[in-house]
Structure 1
Amino acid sequence: MIKVAIIGTGAIASAHIKAYQQFADRCEIIALCDLYVEKAKSTVEEFHLNAHIYTKCDELLQDTDIDLISICTPPYTHAEIAVAALNAGKHVLVEKPMAASLEECDAMNDAQQKSGRVLSVISQNRFTNPMMKLKSILETGLMGPIVHTQVDSFWWRGHSYYDLWWRGTWEKEGGGCTLNHAVHHIDIFHWMNGMPSEVTAVTTNTSHDNAEVEDLSVAICSYPNGSLGQITSSVVHHGEEQQLIFQGKNARVSVPWKVRASKSKENGFPERDHELEQKIQQHYEAVTDLSYEGHAAQVDDVLCAIEGKKSVLVDGHAGRRTLELITAIYQSANTRQSASLPLNESSPFYTRKGILENARHFYEKTASVKNFSENVITTGGKYE
């Protein structure tokens, strides 16, 4: 039986708890940690947990019964907690984004390598039937080389969203919608399409004058083969339509699922290639559905890795690549120059210190509340 602790009992912690509870024959939540004891007590009661409550991480890490820790705290704390947990011999599942800087990602991966423990970064959107089916389609090569990718990471958040004490600042949240919302789709983007060689980006804040960070960004990603990708990250889009579209030389596919294929008439104008569309559709329908989806599927993935059955799908290196692409967007937008990848210690945005020194403040944070009375979050599109 794998013993689990959860650090941070804010809104996202409930997704972890519900996921672990689906595998009650394999794991048990035995500890919670939060600065606010009442929040932790409320969580224990809500989910009927038999868990000890800690207010300090270092005390929790001394509990030798704990095998696995879920980190559900604000991004700026992820690295410190994860490194300490790995050094204490614990396995770690950390919420997105992996950390607040590439330097911190590298420290986490170094600690993982030295400890030999499992480190996985939450990327629950990979663990959905639409995404797994799309990934399988791309791997068939039926579409031909990818020539253009479109990522619409559209979310909507009201003005008060950034009143929460840690949100809306470079120091504590680490960035705006590009880091904390589009991270899901940017992870999918590089998982399916590989890492670009160059990024050119613009960021702005259109609707949230209580935040230092951006609420809208647009990035163009360039690949050595000439392919382009465009990523729009937003918390100002009503309706929150979210999609990824891959245009190949032979066909186009997307989530939400749609397939179209064209072939050329004698004069170069298009006509539907129904035969290729049917072949792609048949492959899509033949892909077996997942046993679990979302956080539950990723928890299952981590438990299997701890049990020695497989490696995790999303390890610390995959988590770093996601942050690397996001960092390139911030670097380009703030320096007003294209950013070349890979990024390393020479990047002005490699460290938290560098980010704080170089990131533009659109506004200064003017409000700070400890907690909202409502602890329910929404997670955007279902990709169906």
Structure 2
Amino acid sequence: MTAFALVGCGRIAKRHADLLAGGQIKGATLAAVAEVKDDRLRNFTREYGVPGYADYHAMMEAMGDRIDVVSVLTESGNHARHTIDLARYGKHVVVEKPMALTLPDAEAMIRACDSANVKLFVVKQNRCNLPVVRLRQAVAAGRFGKIVMGTVRVRWSRPQAYYDQDPWRGTLAMDGGVFANQASHHVDLLEWLLGEPDTVFAKARTALVDIEAEDTGVALITFASGAIGVVEATTAVRPKDLEGSISILGERGTVEIGGFAVNEMKTWNFVDQGPEDEAVLRECRETPPDVYGFGHKHYLNNVVDSIQHGGRALVDGLEGYKSLVLLSAIYESIAQEQEVRLRFRPRISRLGLERPVAPPVLLPPVRRLVGVPAA
């Protein structure tokens, strides 16, 4: 049995806890939680019947021999510090999106886990949605021919009360805006499906709420393949969430996945029809209860399989790093007000920087780290 501990008991932690403590992840269990806020800690320990700690170091010292994986579910700006700390205990690490807010922080996380000989898993659960899986298979099989355009739309509602829940929400140092938070999964899907991005030009504004970061923005991405990508992202929809969608247009086919969590196959048309195509529209109409969808269950099952049987991780640290490069380029383009090439180092973007930089980690370089832009 693979035992998980959760660090952070915020909104997303309940999703992880429900799956792990509810027996929905085969071969896994919830062993402990850590949270600095007393009320949240009490609620979690009472609801899930596991030990709770106000400090994750105390948790690891008390229960380290009974923990196999630690899930870092804290503020995005703290992901690097917490991951680096926890890797030193020799435990595998699952970290929620985005893996970090700066590229140096993400590189330090990868090095720390590599040095400790533990696996680093970055949560990208929308890759596991059944409609997305079918779309990925169609792209890999070349059914689109030349891909012309890919578009993702995140049209969700986050009122001021959402941001007022915690002082870090909507800050550039610890959270970012709609691109870094709500749309990071969708940016990842676009890159995963269309391949290596070349340039990005983005604009954003804060339209309806009082936060430091953006609540609305668009990004135009060119890919090495020649395809064009469009990201439309906002949390200024009122009064409720509208959609989280992706569409891929190619010379030999068109696919659109809608719903509010990239969960509903709406269009599946190809010039060359296959015997399985008729069933795709019927089977790919998931109805999740919230914007998290059903993907976490499939993702965590893969984590357990990777640990217990050596299976391939769906999204490891290096794969998570790729989408962070694109996300960083979006924010740099917003700050520069011009197009940015992907091989860059942020010059004036403030995302993740208004805080002490993660302490230097004196570890050997990651042997497998590729695609890191020169300083």
Q: TM-score, normalised by structure 2?
A: 0.83
TM-superposition CA deviations, 1:196-251 (whole Å, max 9, x none):
1000110111111x201000111100123432111111101344222111110122
Residue matched to 2:171: 169
Query: Shift of residue 61 of structure 1?
Result: 2.8
Residue matched to 2:365: none
Compare CA radii of gyration and give the structure with the larger one: 1
Query: Shift of residue 283 of structure 1?
Result: 8.2
Q: Is the 8 A contact 1:244 1:254 kept in 2?
A: yes
Q: Which amino acid aligns with 1:153?
A: V
Residue matched to 1:260: 269
2:170 is paired with a residue whose SS is coil
**Corresponding position: 1:319 with 2:315:** no
- TM-aligned CA distance change 1:354 to 1:74, over 3 Å: closer
- TM-aligned CA distance change 1:233 to 1:353, over 3 Å: closer
The 5-angstrom pairing of residues 166-245 of structure 1 reads 166-173=168-175, 175-208=176-209, 210-238=210-238, 239-245=241-247
More relative contact order in 1 or in 2 (CA 8 Å, sep 6+)?
1
- TM-aligned CA distance change 1:308 to 1:251, over 3 Å: same
Q: Is the 8 A contact 2:202 2:334 kept in 1?
A: yes
Q: Is the 8 A contact 2:335 2:348 kept in 1?
A: no
CA distance in 1 between counterparts of 2:285 and 2:207 reads 40
Identity %: 27
The 5-angstrom pairing of residues 14-53 of structure 1 reads 14-21=14-21, 22-23=23-24, 26-47=27-48, 49=49, 51-53=50-52
The 5-angstrom pairing of residues 272-291 of structure 1 reads 273=271, 276-277=272-273, 281-282=277-278, 284=280
Q: Is the 8 A contact 2:197 2:224 kept in 1?
A: yes
**Corresponding position: 1:307 with 2:334:** no
2:151 is paired with a residue whose SS is strand
TM-superposition CA deviations, 1:96-116 (whole Å, max 9, x none):
111121111100111121122
Q: Which amino acid aligns with 1:243?
A: S
CA distance in 1 between counterparts of 2:25 and 2:130 reads 24
1:207 is paired with a residue whose SS is coil
- TM-aligned CA distance change 1:338 to 1:29, over 3 Å: same
In structure 2, runs of 5+ residues without a counterpart are 259-264, 287-292, 357-375
CA distance in 1 between counterparts of 2:277 and 2:29 reads 41
CA distance in 1 between counterparts of 2:86 and 2:350 reads 21
Q: Is the 8 A contact 2:172 2:353 kept in 1?
A: no
CA distance in 2 between counterparts of 1:85 and 1:17 reads 19
Q: Which amino acid aligns with 1:236?
A: A
Query: Shift of residue 182 of structure 1?
Result: 0.3
1:171 is paired with a residue whose SS is coil
In structure 1, runs of 5+ residues without a counterpart are 262-272, 358-384
Q: TM-score, normalised by structure 1?
A: 0.81
TM-superposition CA deviations, 1:103-141 (whole Å, max 9, x none):
111001111211221111111111111111111111111
Q: Is the 8 A contact 1:137 1:284 kept in 2?
A: no
CA distance in 2 between counterparts of 1:118 and 1:222 reads 32
**Corresponding position: 1:61 with 2:63:** no
Q: Is the 8 A contact 1:9 1:34 kept in 2?
A: yes
- TM-aligned CA distance change 1:133 to 1:286, over 3 Å: farther
- TM-aligned CA distance change 1:118 to 1:350, over 3 Å: farther
Query: Shift of residue 167 of structure 1?
Result: 0.5
Residue matched to 1:143: 144
CA distance in 1 between counterparts of 2:193 and 2:278 reads 20
2:197 is paired with a residue whose SS is coil
Q: Which amino acid aligns with 1:332?
A: S
1:180 is paired with a residue whose SS is coil
- TM-aligned CA distance change 1:356 to 1:148, over 3 Å: farther
2:9 is paired with a residue whose SS is coil
Q: Which amino acid aligns with 1:78?
A: H
The 5-angstrom pairing of residues 55-94 of structure 1 reads 55-62=54-61, 63-65=63-65, 66-94=67-95
CA distance in 1 between counterparts of 2:232 and 2:328 reads 15
TM-superposition CA deviations, 1:13-54 (whole Å, max 9, x none):
11101221335762222211111223112112223x2x2211
Q: Which amino acid aligns with 1:347?
A: P
